[in-house]
Homo-oligomer: A and B are copies of this chain.
Amino acid sequence: MLADDLPIVLDRCRPEPLAVQVADALRAAASGGLLRVGDRLASTRALASRLGVSRTVTAAAYDQLLAEGWLVGRRGSGTFVTAAPPSARHRPATAAAHAPTSGRPVAAAGAIDLTSGRPCLDALDRAAWRRAWRVASDRVPAGEPDYAGALEFRQAVVDHLLRHRGLPAGADQVLATAGTTDALDELAALLPAGASVGFEEPGYRRAAETLVARGIRLVPVPVDGDGLRVDRLPSGLAAVYCTPAHQFPLGPRLSAARRVALVERARAEGFLVLEDDYDGELRYDVAPLPLLAALGPDVVAYLGTSSKLLTPTLGVGWLVAPPAMHAELLAARERAGMRPSPAGQLVFAALADYGDLARHLRRLRAELTERRARVVAALSGTGAALLGDAAGAHLRVTLPSAAAERALMAAAAEAGVLLQGLLDCHRCPPSAFGVSLGYARPPRPALDRGVAIVADLVRRAWSDPVSG
- On A, residues with C-beta under 8 Å from B are 27, 30-31, 37, 66-70, 72-73, 82-85, 87-89, 91-94, 96-102, 104, 107, 113, 118-119, 121, 124, 129-130, 132-134, 136-146, 162-170, 172-173, 178-182, 185, 189, 206-207, 209-210, 213, 283, 287-291, 293-298, 307, 310-316, 323-324, 326-327, 330-332, 334-344, 346-347, 441
Complex Cα–Cα for A30 and B162 (A)? 10
Query: Within 8 Å CB of A213, what residues of B?
Result: 189, 332, 335-336
Instruction: Provide a sorted-by-A list of 18 A–B residue pairs whose CB atoms are within 8 angstroms.
Output: A68-B164, A69-B290, A70-B166, A72-B288, A73-B287, A82-B166, A88-B169, A91-B323, A96-B327, A98-B172, A101-B334, A141-B313, A144-B312, A179-B338, A206-B337, A209-B335, A314-B341, A341-B341
Query: Within 8 Å CB of A96, what residues of B?
Result: 323-324, 327, 331
Query: Within 8 Å CB of A210, what residues of B?
Result: 336-338
- Of B93, B113, B295, which one neighbours A85 at CB under 8 angstroms? B295
Seed contacts A88-B294, A213-B335; 16 additional CB < 8 Å A-B pairs: A66-B288, A72-B288, A82-B290, A83-B294, A85-B290, A93-B170, A96-B331, A102-B335, A130-B138, A141-B311, A145-B307, A180-B337, A209-B337, A210-B336, A313-B343, A341-B341
CB <8 Å contact, B88 and A293: yes
**Known interface pairs A97-B330, A133-B133, A335-B102. Does A342 touch B344 (Cβ–Cβ under 8 Å)?**
yes
- Of B68, B93, B136, B145, which one neighbours A312 at CB under 8 angstroms? B145
| Min CB gap A155→B, angstroms | 14
| Min CB gap A451→B, angstroms | 17
Query: Within 8 Å CB of A121, what residues of B?
Result: 140-141, 143
CB <8 Å contact, B209 and A336: yes
Query: Within 8 Å CB of A30, what residues of B?
Result: 168
Query: Within 8 Å CB of A166, what residues of B?
Result: 68-70, 82-84
Complex Cα–Cα for A326 and B100 (A)? 14
Report the 6 A-B pairs with minimum CB-CB distance, sorted nearest first.
A315-B341, A83-B166, A69-B288, A133-B137, A343-B344, A206-B337
Closest B residue by C-beta to A130: B137
CB <8 Å contact, B334 and A100: yes
Complex Cα–Cα for A102 and B409 (A)? 50
Closest B residue by C-beta to A316: B341
**Known interface pairs A97-B326, A213-B189, A334-B100. Does A144 touch B341 (Cβ–Cβ under 8 Å)?**
no
- Of B94, B283, B297, B341, which one neighbours A343 at CB under 8 angstroms? B341
Complex Cα–Cα for A321 and B212 (A)? 24
Complex Cα–Cα for A72 and B290 (A)? 10
| Min CB gap A24→B, angstroms | 10
